[in-house]
Amino acid sequence: MSSNPITVQILDKEYRIACPAGEEEALRESATFLNNRIMEVRESGKVIGPDRITVMAALNLAHEFLSERSEYQQYASNINNRVRTLHERIDSAIRSSNQLEL
């Protein structure tokens, strides 16, 4: 797949990034999302310096991602348990039905 260079702006600087064809809009949205989060940290006034601001925004995003992933994993585990229980009940019902036919 070919690659197209895309220019995005993050923390008042332009970056030229190689992007797979067809993924340009997703890259732009990602850059805008990241830039907005960085600006939120900068505007809070609690962190000074572009490097520290960027690291704090990245840490916040990583924390949110890991929290969401953990919630998703718990949800998926609950769904798997429910499916397993339903499967067992269906198997049991089929065995009972087969025994009645004999």
Band the pLDDT of 102: cuts 50, 70, 90: low
Secondary structure element (H or E) that encloses residue 47, with its range? none
Residues spanned by the domain of 52: 3-101
Inter-axis angle of helices 50-101 and 24-44, nearest 10: 120
Q: Which CATH number fits the domain that encloses residue 18?
A: 3.30.160.880
**Average pLDDT of 7-12?**
94
This model's pTM is above 0.75: no
Q: In this predicted structure, what is the pLDDT of residue 73?
A: 94
Q: In this predicted structure, what is the pLDDT of residue 48?
A: 87
Considering its fold, how many domains does the chain have in total? 1
Q: What is the phi/psi pair of residue 6, to 5°?
A: -120, 140
